[in-house]
Amino acid sequence: MQAWLKVLNLAILASTIQIATPIIYAALGSVMSERGGVINIGIEGIMLLSCFAAVVGSYFWGPWAGVLLAMAVGGLLGLLHAYLSVTVKANQIISATAINIVAVGLPNLLVPAIWPGHHAVSPVVPRLADVRLPIIADLPVIGPVLGRQNPLAYLALLLVPVLDFLLFKTRFGLRLRAVGEHPRAADTVGISVTRMRYIGVIVGGVLAGIGGAFLSIGYQSQYSAAMTGGRGFMGMAAMIFGNWRPFGALLACLLFGFADAFQAAAQSASILPVSPRLLLSLPYILTLIALAGLVGKTVGPAADGKPYEKG
């Protein structure tokens, strides 16, 4: 019992936020893309390539340049996905699968080209330092959890209300949702379906890019092969769980983050009767359970994934 109490302390909540952060970015990226009516299963690959871009940027010009480069790469891949799914009207899942596959292979070609002698893992690069929030850090309970985090983790938590406001309280949000729900009606009143969808997907790509940067130069300080480990897909699951809303998605991400943080803490205290190797499956099993528990309770945008043909 005492061992369990030792595991369940505030540090676990602090690491919950760290673990949840990249999933939050993936989930917010998916929300922006799908609210406009484009499914982007390439979020995983976009994050992975952004992880790599962030490390390259940080290696040559410092961590903030890394973040910018990751955002640029994320935005460009978003643009590519938007072009394929909105303009070409290609099958969105097929084209995004190509992004996911190239994201696994390409960095492994580029790592030895940039850093001779390295394979699959980059050298350690400068990471984005954590910041301490002056007043909050001294508060009881909240202090140890939120007082000292990575700037990109704070940004993620800040983006949740910002994007919620943007989507549900502004003209832009109304238009984006309109092209995702009923593109024909939106088109009739003069909203450019193409333009809005491009914006949604590109913004989604940029968000996934920041998530990638957090992973490789915030949470860790190097690139290693396939380091996203399905977080992009977990973000999509979080979006569905959260009913395509930023706050709902945040809740799901925190749930995934807590499960993983608890598992890690319990493992290091070695109080669980299950093999640690098997426990690594936990976040993925939990993702499935979370989705299964929601049967029929959430509904996505009506035109999600459907290309729009002007009639």
Partner 1 sequence: MTTRSRARRAVGSSTSVQLLLSMAAVVFALLAGALVLVVTGQSPREAYGALWQGAFGSRRSIGETLLSTTPLIFGGLAVTVAFRCGLFNMGVEGQIAMGGLGAAWAGYWIRGLPACVHLPLALLIGTACGTAWGSIAGYLKARLNMHEVITTIMLNYIAFNIAGWAVSVGGPMKDAGQLPASPIILQTAKLPRILPGSRLHAGILIALVFVAIIWYLLFYSRLGYAIRAVGLSPTAAEYGGIRIARHIMLTMAISGSLGGLAGAVEVLGVHYRLFEAFSPGYGWDAIAVALLGMLHPMGVLLSALLFGALRSGSTLMQTVAGVSRDMILVISALVIFFIALTRSFAGTHGVSPGGKDSAGVAEGS
Q: Which stretches of the chain bind partner 1, using CB under 8 A? A: 41, 84, 88-95, 97-99, 101-102, 104-106, 108-110, 112-113, 119, 183-184, 229-230, 233, 236-237, 240, 275, 277-278, 280-281, 284-285, 287-288, 291-292, 295-296, 303-311
Minimum CB distance to partner 1 smaller for 85 or for 216: 85
- Chain-centroid distance of CA 69 in Å reads 16
Helix ranges, the chain (H): 2-7, 10-35, 43-61, 63-82, 92-114, 142-146, 151-169, 171-181, 183-188, 193-214, 231-241, 246-268, 276-279, 282-292
Shortest Cβ 91–partner 1 spacing (Å): 4
Q: Which is nearer to partner 1, 148 or 306 (CB)?
A: 306
CB nearer to partner 1: give 112 or 161: 112
Give the Cα separation of 295 and 126 in Å (integer): 44
Nearer to partner 1, 148 or 182 (CB): 182
Q: Are strands 131-132 and 148-149 parallel, antiparallel or unpaired?
A: antiparallel
- Give the residue with the Cβ less far from partner 1, 130 or 187: 187
**Shortest distance (Å) from residue 54 CB to partner 1:** 19
Q: Which residue has the tokens 């035109």?
A: 303
Chain centre to alpha carbon of residue 83: 21
Spatial separation of the C-alpha atoms in residues 112 and 107, rounded to whole Å: 9
**From the CB of 67, what's the least distance to partner 1, in Å?**
24
- Residue 303 CB, nearest distance to partner 1 (Å)? 7
Four-point Cα dihedral 208, 177, 287, 92, nearest 10: -70
CB of 166 to partner 1, least distance (A): 26
Distances (CA, A) of 174 to 164, 286, 302: 11, 33, 14
Q: What amino acid is encoded at 218 in this protein?
A: G
* C-alpha pair distances (Å), 132 with each of 85, 143, 148: 42, 10, 4
Give me the least distance between CB of 278 and partner 1, in Å please.
5
Closer residue to partner 1 (CB): 108 or 221: 108
Q: How far is the CB of 114 from partner 1 (least distance, A)?
A: 9
> Is the CB of 93 or the CB of 129 nearer to partner 1?
93
